[in-house]
Structure formats: C-alpha cells, structure tokens
C-alpha cells in the first residue's frame, strides 16, 4: 500500500520511514508506542502555505492580494485537502487503531487532511522544497479550476469587471500599429482607461492583441 501511495504521489522516498510516520495516526501510535504524524503535520501546514502562495502569485499576477487570499483559503481547507487525499486513496494506507478504523477513520476529512499535510512535510524533509513543490502542483493544479471557475475568464472580462468597479467606466482598446505584410499582419493594441494608456499587447489578430493588452494592464491595476 505504501508503494501505491508513492505511485500516486509520483515520488519515491529515500527514507521510507518518513512516509510511514506521515501515515501514522495518533491512535495507532498510542497503541504501538511509536511516533505519530502530528509534528510532520505541523511542518506540512507551513510548507503547504508557502508553496500555494508562491504558486498563486506566479500563476495569477493580475489578481489583487484580496483575491489571492480568497483563492488560497479555498485550497488549504481541511475538506479540500481531504478531497485530494481521497483522490490518491490515502485513507487505505493510514495506520489507525482498531477503534478508529471502526469509526470510519479512513474516510474522516480531518484525519485525511492532516495526513496529507504530514506527507508534504515528509517529502520536504526527504527531498527538499523543489520536489515537494512539484508533487503538490501535480495534486492541486486541477483543483484550482474546479473550485474557482471565474479565474478561467478571458483577461478582457476580468479587466472590464475590475475597471467598472474601480473607475465606473469601460476600458477602451485601440490598435496602435500594425507590422508585416497584409497576409501576415501583427497587431499592437493599447488598453486605455480615462484616456490613459494602461497596457499594450501584440497578436496575430485584433482580438489576440487586445487580450494581451488586457493581461498587461491587469498586472498594473
């Protein structure tokens, strides 16, 4: 079962004892006089926060601090962590006491979320931050789209909503110049708010250039 978890994670432990400890619930530890995963969970919570924050800032440079915080809050809840844990069948590998197994501990969101954080800490201690980053992104990237469909909007739609909320007007796009032969033109668009240039972008069509200009503007607003 441990090997299966490594397969789901896409990571092989140099020190398998770290993985075993990450899978050890306190109920099992008390019965067998071994260390539980609570300290690893404590470290894993911090590792998770760091990686998720770094990923969101790099992936969505146009979002405000408040929007990033809202998205981050969705990704680090126990229920979200538990869903990821269920996707990799983590519950089947947990070391639980007989009583906890009878209480459906393998499906308990809190136990699963804690164990996933412990596993992230174990990977961090075993292989370093970069490998932990890669594992976490493989597990979490699809989840971001599922829980936040609004972030899949076109850059122009996101920009328009933000400009209307802030300035109470609509942004305007202008083609600043074109380059190349008629059959292979490249457009450069400008995005203006209150007649002030906020962003520029290029593309092989007007729409593509406008989207690029909107993306550029979002990084400033």
User: Cα–Cα distance between 120 and 77 in angstroms, integer?
Assistant: 15
User: What is the pLDDT at residue 82?
Assistant: 92
User: What is the pLDDT at residue 180?
Assistant: 93
Identify the structural domains of the chain with CATH numbers, from first to last.
2-149 (1.10.1520.10), 155-218 (3.30.160.20)
Tell me the pLDDT tens digit for each residue of 11-23: 999 999 999 999 9
- Rg for the chain (alpha carbons), in Å? 23
Q: Is 33 left (phi over 0), alpha (psi -120 to 50) or beta?
A: left
Tell me the pLDDT tens digit for each residue of 39-58: 999 999 999 999 999 988 88
In the three-class reduction of DSSP (H, G, I as helix; E, B as strand; rest coil), residue 33 is classed as coil
Give the residue from 121, 142, 146 showing the smallest Cα distance to 39: 121
Per-residue pLDDT of the chain in tens (221 residues, 90 and over written 9):
666 899 999 999 999 999 999 999 999 999 999 999 999 999 999 999 999 999 888 888 877 788 788 888 878 888 889 999 999 999 999 999 999 998 888 999 999 999 999 999 999 999 999 999 999 989 987 776 665 545 556 788 888 988 998 899 999 999 999 999 988 999 999 999 999 999 999 999 999 999 999 989 988 87
User: What is the pLDDT at residue 128?
Assistant: 98
Q: Please give the model's pTM, rounded to 2 decimal places.
A: 0.70
User: What is the pLDDT at residue 220?
Assistant: 80
User: Cα–Cα distance between 19 and 2 in angstroms, integer?
Assistant: 8
User: What is the pLDDT at residue 205?
Assistant: 94
User: What is the pLDDT at residue 3?
Assistant: 65
User: What is the pLDDT at residue 151?
Assistant: 57
CB–CB of 132/119 below 8 Å?
no
92 is catalytic: no
Q: Which two tokens stand for residue 94?
A: 């947990």
Residues 6+ apart with CB under 8 A from 183: none
User: What is the pLDDT at residue 65?
Assistant: 85
Phi and psi at 54, nearest 5°, equal -60, -45
Which residue among 36, 41, 100, 117 is the active-site one?
117
Task: Write the CA distances from 77 to 102, 116, 117, integer angstroms.
Answer: 25, 12, 11
161 is catalytic: no
Residues 6+ apart with CB under 8 A from 219: 61, 62, 199
Average pLDDT for the chain: 90
Which residue among 36, 41, 45, 114 is the active-site one?
45
């Amino acid at each position: 079962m441990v090997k299966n978890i490594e397969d789901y994670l896409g990571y092989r432990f140099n020190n398998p004892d770290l993985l075993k400890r990450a899978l050890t619930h306190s109920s099992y530890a008390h019965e067998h006089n071994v260390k539980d995963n609570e300290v690893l969970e404590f470290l894993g919570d911090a590792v998770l926060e760091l990686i998720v924050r770094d990923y969101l800032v790099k992936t969505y440079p146009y979002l405000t601090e408040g929007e990033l915080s809202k998205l981050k809050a969705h990704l680090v809840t126990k229920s979200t962590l538990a869903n990821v844990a269920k996707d990799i069948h983590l519950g089947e590998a947990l070391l639980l006491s007989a009583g906890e197994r009878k209480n459906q501990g393998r499906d308990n969101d809190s136990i699963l979320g804690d164990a996933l954080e412990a596993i992230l800490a174990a990977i961090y201690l075993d292989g370093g931050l970069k490998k932990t980053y890669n594992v976490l992104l493989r597990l979490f990237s699809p989840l971001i789209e599922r829980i936040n469909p609004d972030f899949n909007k076109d850059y122009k739609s996101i920009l328009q909503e933000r400009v209307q909320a802030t300035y109470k007007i609509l942004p305007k796009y202008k083609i600043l110049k074109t380059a190349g032969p008629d059959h292979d033109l490249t457009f450069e668009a400008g995005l203006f708010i209150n007649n002030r240039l906020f962003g520029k972008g290029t593309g092989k069509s007007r729409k593509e250039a406008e989207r690029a200009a909107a993306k550029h503007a979002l990084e400033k607003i």
